[in-house]
Homo-oligomer: A and B are copies of this chain.
Amino acid sequence: MAATLRDVAKLAGVSFKTVSNVINDYPHVRPATREKVERAIAELGYKPNLNARSLRSGRTDTVALAVPELNLSYFAELAGMVIAAAEESGLTVVVEQTGGDRDRELALLRSPRLSMTDGLILSPLGMGQEDAGALDVPFPLVLLGERTFDWPCDHVTMRNTEAARAATEYLLDSGRRRIAVIGEHEGEVMGSARLRLRGYREALAEHGVPYDPALVVRATLWHRADGARAMHELLDRDVPFDAVFGFNDTMALGAMRVLQEAGRRVPEDVAVIGFDDLDEAAYSIPSLTTVDPGREWLARTALGTLLERIAETGPKQPPRTELADFTIVERESAPRG
């Protein structure tokens, strides 16, 4: 059995409360006593039982991070950054996967498992406006990435609409006029897909290019296979297009593969732009022009905001929204015009 405070105390010949004082850097401990206790701690290899500490203190120094799936590189890289940032603050991260599924998102928000954490960073995908009330939770909560509903809650995200507008403009500026879009979510009101589509339409309108629904392809999940499927669908529609805007890199890469299989040259026949700036975007053939949404900043800010909330004592501050800056990363799949 692992050593406890009392074991250390017995060995050091002091009360167990003194050992606790040493561990918690209570200032009034005589150096000699401190040393005695520290020797005993070392000798027994004592490690505090964090469960007991949490029970007593109410702090767990653990946060939960819920993403759709780690299988999506975007979320894997994001999770890695959140965990790295947490590590720096001495925090542990519990990772949950929701599959982007509404019911699993709701179940998680109600789960007793969260009683083991001080707060939650959630990337919602499946919940809708009618579920927003479920966010009225008794623990700190930060939404990371676009939300699919309106609810006053801390929120760390990026300028989705502006970024999508910029990406579209980038293609327009390079002379493309028939720009297909992959990744629309039908019926969505305010998720990333909808916001990016809005940016796309704004850019078209500004340039006087008509919006053609035949160029817009749905994809609920944003895997490579979804991008590939969407591209097959687009090719089947037999409408002309000279560019593709993938709502994430993974889909864009899946689509680009199908495009080339079909004999279209990228970027000569069709330019492709993605969204996320994944590691792999720099290594595809051709390498993928994309939007860098500032993931590192997103991850750190989400965690930082959550930690501030956790530390908060007085009356609840009003919810905050933090917006990351984006940049367009030019690569081969869509050269600047």
- Which residues of A approach B to under 8 Å, CB–CB? 2, 47-52, 54-55, 60, 62, 69-71, 73, 76-77, 79-80, 83-84, 87, 92-97, 110, 112-113, 115-116, 138, 223-224, 228, 253-254, 256-257, 260, 279-280, 282-285, 287
Contacts and interface: CB of A to CB of B under 8 A. Distances in A.
A223 B93 CA distance: 24
Contact of A224 (B71, B279, B285): B279
A259 to B, nearest CB: 10
Between A50, A83, A282, A284, the greatest number of chain B beta carbons within 10 A of the residue's beta carbon is seen for A50
A126 to B, nearest CB: 16
A83 B71 contact: no
A79 B79 CA distance: 11
Contact of A257 (B50, B83, B224, B283): B283
Given A80-B69, A115-B47, A94 B62 contact: yes
A95 B93 contact: yes
A64 to B, nearest CB: 8
A140 B79 CA distance: 26
Contacts of A95: 79, 83, 93-95
A84 B98 CA distance: 10
Contacts of A54: 51, 116
A279 B62 CA distance: 31
Pick the 10 closest A-B CB pairs, nearest first.
Answer: A76-B76, A70-B80, A47-B112, A257-B283, A51-B54, A285-B285, A51-B55, A95-B95, A224-B283, A71-B80
Q: How many copies does the complex hold?
A: 2
Given A51-B55, A55-B52, A224-B283, A2 B138 contact: yes
B83 A77 contact: no
B62 A70 contact: no
24 contacts: A48-B112, A48-B115, A50-B115, A50-B116, A51-B54, A51-B60, A55-B55, A69-B80, A70-B70, A70-B76, A70-B77, A70-B80, A73-B76, A73-B280, A79-B95, A84-B97, A92-B96, A223-B279, A224-B282, A224-B283, A228-B283, A253-B283, A257-B287, A284-B285
Contacts of A224: 279-280, 282-283
Contacts of A115: 2, 47-51
Given A2-B115, A51-B60, A76-B76, 16 more contacts: A48-B115, A50-B113, A50-B115, A51-B116, A62-B116, A71-B279, A73-B280, A92-B113, A93-B94, A95-B95, A224-B280, A224-B283, A253-B280, A257-B285, A257-B287, A284-B284
Contacts of A47: 110, 112, 115
Contacts of A280: 73, 224, 253, 280
Contacts of A112: 47-48, 50
A25 to B, nearest CB: 16
Contacts of A76: 70-71, 73, 76-77, 79-80
B97 A80 contact: yes
Nearest to A261: B285
